[in-house]
Amino acid sequence: MSPKQQPRRQSNPMSRGARKRDEDSGTEVGEGADEWAQSKTAVRPPDQLELTDAELKEEFTRILTANNPHAPQNIVRYSFKEGTYKLIGFVNQLAVHYSHVGNLIPKDSDEGRRQHYRDELVAGSQESAKLVISETEILEEDEEPKDAEAEAEAEAGSQTDIPTAEAAEKVTEEELMAPKQPRERKLTNQFNFSERASQTFNNPLRDRECQMEPPPRTNFSATANQWEIYDAYVEELEKQEKTKEKEKTKTPVAKKMGKIAKRKMTSMESQSDDITKVTQAAKIVERMVNQNTYDDVAQDFKYYEDAADEYRDQEGTLLPLWKFQNDKAKRLAVTALCWNPKYKDLFAVGHGSYDFMKQSRGMLLLYSMKNPSFPEYIFSSDSGIMCLDMHVDHPYLVAVGHYDGNVAIYNLKKPHSQPAFRSSAKSGKHTDPVWQVKWQKDDMDNNLNFFSVSSDGRIVSWTLVKSELVHTDVIKLKVESSSTEGLEGLQLHTMGCGTAFDFHKEIDYMFLVGTEEGKIYKCSKSYSSQFLDTYDAHNMAVDAVSWNPYHTKVFMSCSSDWTVKIWDHTIKTPMFIYDLNSAVGDVAWAPYSSTVFAAVTTNGKTHVFDLSINKYEAICNQPVVAKKKNKITHVQFNPIHPIIIVGDDRGHVTCLKLSPNLRKMPKEKKGQEVQKGPAVEIAKLDKLLNLVREVKPKV
């Protein structure tokens, strides 16, 4: 058999592939079974910590907060008010990840309605365009069989050799007969944004000019002839000869002293000239700097009104404004306060000491609210200043009383360190501290005079005669029923210690005197031997006595026995008594109301009363000093502004603004004019006093 004829052995590829798959699958199953059978072991890095089960089970909670971890926590800003760097308490924790500027318009607005109407028009036009397109498609489908017939006819015509001109005419006729397809309308973009803008009208520029009158001019002319020149030279020669004759008569020592004095005088004059040229400008610049530094305080003084008073029925507050202090008067107490009667922003402060064991120097400072950083005038004294008063008609004259018993007068027009007038032992000075001085009207000879009261029991009238102080004892305070018998049957009277006094606003001769024994004497300038009346006022020393500025019968007193009492001088018992739980240092009536007064206590609090609102307790009790140890010594109302000044025993003077509730004025009613004036204030206080007088004592 030939190779071609030999039968071929057919192989089964399917069986061979199946066996191969079985072998492969068998090996795979065996390997997988071995892997699952083996135990799995965790591979640890060599530096991993080994923790116990308790440590592994311990949970660590993490609290998600809204704080930004990258926000700084130690931002420091400089406080111009306090003059120090301070940490900012609030740090912005907001972190913006995405921001997009959008423009939303409410549907109910006019612009929203316009856009909605515009969208409806666009949608209607789109629907009409779709209808036109669908109609054209139907027409095209109808024309398709016609086109096929035309092609067949064209072929037949070509076979029959139809002329080309006739075929062209048929085509143009068919094109004219066929309906034209409408043009598709371009749809507007719905997301297209058109920005609207408007141009404002520019006001025309205007030039404003003013014409001044030219300064007046004068023509001066003179002739200088030979005789006038000769006379001038002769006068100059005569002056030189006179000076030479005087120098010949002087001793050599006197000549040297004269030359030295001339040099000093010329140098002093040149220095003073240079300083005086700069002082006015320097003062203006200093006030400008201070007004910029304390601008927030000045704004509060002028415009701030506590809005919370509307929600308080009968309570008010005091807003601290400026604080006046000087390094030279650090350890000296504020012993006197007085506003200038002409310049309402200027006030005088007396510095001294109430402690008998700590007596040293004294100072008189005058501050202005325009420059709270430094006093306008500074005067120093060897003895402490215990009281002061400024003259009404001559506001540049300041009378002061010293701890050593002397009185003095400072002239602000002559800013020297020494007083212009001063008492002495020869001129009858007091032997004990002078506690109060008061200017009086000029005497019959138009001489200035003032009164003083001292612990030595004398009330003295001081008169400025030429260049000296002349004293006159007005009255001596004698304690009643305190006379003792001395040698040979002499009657010895115990002298009272005067601490405060005040003169009546209308009756010139009448005045009140408070004593250390707690009594108040009503005295007269005309009677030096007896008192008009005596009031058993307090159990301790009387610190202040003050007549009401409106009502002629009412006066007020305060004492170290913690009480403030209001009196009618025709009645020996007080009308009102207030216990302030601490020694009262000073009291003052408000200049704008007959029923408002303020009192300060040694525990650092200021109390403001308004008898027309609450006649039982104060409507404001507010601590003023920073430390509780500090004692407030004096208080004074400003004559026109709603502020008070308060002094303490550390030499600081604080200015405080009264809230609206502390200076309530009568409200205006519709159709009625508000009555104002002294008569209204007198009637208001009389009404309160009548209520007290009508109350009968309980049996």
| 352-373 pLDDT, tens digit each | 988 888 888 889 999 998 888 8
The size of the chain, in residues, is 699
Q: What is the pLDDT of residue 399?
A: 92
- Does position 600 have pLDDT exceeding 80, yes or no? yes
Highest-confidence range of 5-19, 344-358, 477-491, by mean pLDDT?
344-358
Between CA 392 and CA 352 the distance in angstroms is 24
3 or 326, higher pLDDT = 326
pTM (2 d.p.): 0.58
Q: What is the pLDDT of residue 400?
A: 93
Q: Could you tell me the two tokens for 672?
A: 């009625």
Q: Domain 297-482+491-666+675-695 classified CATH 2.40.30.110?
A: no
Q: What 3-state class would DSSP assign to 136?
A: helix
Give helix 110-159 / helix 164-177 axis angle, nearest 10°: 160
Average pLDDT over residues 107-136: 81
Quote the distance between the C-alpha of residue 165 and its chain's center. 107
- Does position 203 have pLDDT exceeding 90, yes or no? no
Closest CA to 401 of 338, 465, 475: 338
Which helix (H) or strand (E) covers residue 563, if one does? strand 563-568
**Percent residues over pLDDT 90 in the chain:** 14
Reported confidence tier of residue 635, pLDDT bands at 50, 70, 90: very high
Q: What is the pLDDT of residues 650-676, one digit of tens each?
A: 889 999 999 888 887 655 555 556 667
- Does position 646 have pLDDT exceeding 90, yes or no? yes
Average pLDDT over residues 348-354: 91
Q: Vertex 166, ends 162 and 170: CA angle to 5°? A: 120
Q: What is the pLDDT of residue 494?
A: 63
Q: What is the pLDDT of residue 662?
A: 85
Q: What is the pLDDT of residue 10?
A: 42
425 or 588, higher pLDDT = 588
**Percent residues over pLDDT 70 in the chain:** 75
Reported confidence tier of residue 387, pLDDT bands at 50, 70, 90: very high
Q: What is the DSSP letter of 624?
A: -
Reported confidence tier of residue 544, pLDDT bands at 50, 70, 90: very high
Average pLDDT over residues 304-319: 83
Q: What is the pLDDT of residue 654?
A: 92
Long-range contacts of 126-135 (CB under 8 A, 24+ apart): 126/187, 129/184, 129/185, 129/187, 132/182, 133/184
Find the distance separating the first CA and the last CA of the chain, reported in whole Å: 168
Sheet with 643-648, edge to edge strand ranges: 318-324, 653-658, 643-648, 632-637
Between CA 396 and CA 502 the distance in angstroms is 22
Q: What is the pLDDT of residues 328-339, one digit of tens each?
A: 888 888 999 999
Reported confidence tier of residue 545, pLDDT bands at 50, 70, 90: very high
Highest-confidence range of 27-41, 283-297, 549-563, by mean pLDDT?
549-563
Q: What is the pLDDT of residue 631?
A: 87
- Does position 349 have pLDDT exceeding 90, yes or no? yes
- Does position 147 have pLDDT exceeding 90, yes or no? no
For the chain, the structural domain boundaries read 297-482+491-666+675-695
Q: Could you tell me the two tokens for 367?
A: 């501050």
Q: What 3-state class would DSSP assign to 618?
A: coil
Reported confidence tier of residue 249, pLDDT bands at 50, 70, 90: low
Lowest pLDDT segment from 89-103, 179-193, 592-606: 179-193
Average pLDDT over residues 517-546: 86
**Which residues face 511 on adjacent strands?**
503, 523
**Which residues face 84 on adjacent strands?**
79
Give the burial string for 434-471 (b: 16+ CB within 10 Å, else e): bbbbebbeeeeeeebbbbbbbbbbbbbbbbbeeeebeb
- Does position 21 have pLDDT exceeding 50, yes or no? no
Q: What is the pLDDT of residue 261?
A: 59
Reported confidence tier of residue 256, pLDDT bands at 50, 70, 90: low
Q: Could you tell me the two tokens for 211?
A: 């014409």
Between CA 661 and CA 530 the distance in angstroms is 45
Between CA 538 and CA 561 the distance in angstroms is 7
Phi, psi of 232 (to 5 degrees): -65, -40
Reported confidence tier of residue 81, pLDDT bands at 50, 70, 90: confident
Q: What 3-state class would DSSP assign to 461?
A: strand
- Does position 495 have pLDDT exceeding 90, yes or no? no
Alpha-helical regions (H) of 213-331 = 226-249, 252-293, 295-303
Q: What is the mean pLDDT of the chain?
A: 78
Q: Could you tell me the two tokens for 15?
A: 């069986």
Q: What is the pLDDT of residues 413-460, one digit of tens each?
A: 886 778 888 888 888 888 889 999 998 888 888 888 899 999 888 889
